[in-house]
Amino acid sequence: MGKISANIKFLRKKKGLTQQQFADEMEIKRSLVGAYEEERADPKYDLLKKFAEFFEVSMDELVNETINAQWKPKPKADGSNVRILSITVDKDDKENIELVPVKASAGYLNGYADPEFVASLPKFSLPMFKQGTYRAFEIKGDSMLPLPSGSIIISEYVENWNDLKVGETAVIISSNEGVVYKRIGSKIRADKGLKLISDNPVYQAYHIMPEEIMEIWRAKAYISTELPQPTPEPTMESLTAMMSQMQRSISQLQQDKN
């Protein structure tokens, strides 16, 4: 039971509690806390469960993992682990759409679960998005062209990452990449993570592991100040190139048949 003893002691100190204060929270004697931390006694199942709930870890993590300053909880492989989501509501108790501008992206990584930070973000509502939890993210760069840099992605919160469909686009919040807008290239897997693809072919696809991901928001619409340009009339050169490509394709099909 060495891991349990060390974990209880570490988590208690992390919360800034003395043995007596922790004992009061758990409604047990201080001497029992000392006995558990010094491996002189083993807590019973019901008390272990109470410890886990108090420290906001799973029973398995409390019993089997070494919890220290470098430790991070591992998300469930199916992407359905419970996450804290902070929201704001309007005067009619309806959820707002909070806007995360580019300049606030770095702060969002640390404040996404902080109600005060989320409340400080600009907020608005749209009549077509009344049901569900939505957030708007301003994107930058050319990795998702033809969507221009500066576009605002209106997105819906994805509670279970297993619900993501290959080919749809989403805003992914992660510890390593920050806030990115990408196309989903695979189902999420515990061993290989989630494949993310840029619409601009200049950029290579890459994988992001589940433990790096903080939130995922499925894209539903976008707002842009750049209106689309008219499609240019085809030139003789482009038509000739298209015909040549068609001829090569037909020739290849005929060779394959033979």
Residue pLDDT, tens place only, 67-103: 988 887 665 555 655 566 788 888 888 899 999 999 9
CA 166: distance to chain centroid?
Answer: 16
pLDDT reported for residue 84: 62
Q: Comparing C-alpha atoms, which of 218, 88, 213, 111 is closest to residue 164?
A: 218
d(CA 137, CA 106): 12
Residue pLDDT, tens place only, 94-139: 899 999 999 998 889 888 877 888 999 999 999 999 888 999 999 9
User: What domains sit in the chain, N to C, each tagged with a CATH number?
Assistant: 2-64 (1.10.260.40), 97-223 (2.10.109.10)
- Higher pLDDT pick, 83 / 220: 220
Transcribe 32-78 into DSSP letters: HHHHHHTTSS---HHHHHHHHHHHT--HHHHHHS--STT--PPPPTT
Other beta carbons within 10 angstroms of residue 135's beta carbon come to 26
Residue 255 has pLDDT above 80, yes or no: no
Residue 227 has pLDDT above 90, yes or no: no
pTM to 2 decimals?
Answer: 0.62
d(CA 93, CA 186): 37
Q: Parallel, antiparallel, or unpaired: how do β-strands 152-157 and 169-174 relate?
A: unpaired
The mean predicted confidence, pLDDT, of the chain is 87
**1-5, 49-53, 148-152, 199-203, range with the lowest pLDDT:** 1-5
Give the CA distances from residue 22 to residues 28, 177, 258, in Å, rounded to whole numbers and listed in that order.
Answer: 9, 38, 80
pLDDT reported for residue 102: 93
What is the SS3 assignment for 239? helix
Tell me the two tokens of residue 113.
């679960």
Residue pLDDT, tens place only, 3-56: 889 999 999 999 999 999 999 999 999 999 999 999 999 888 788 889 988 998
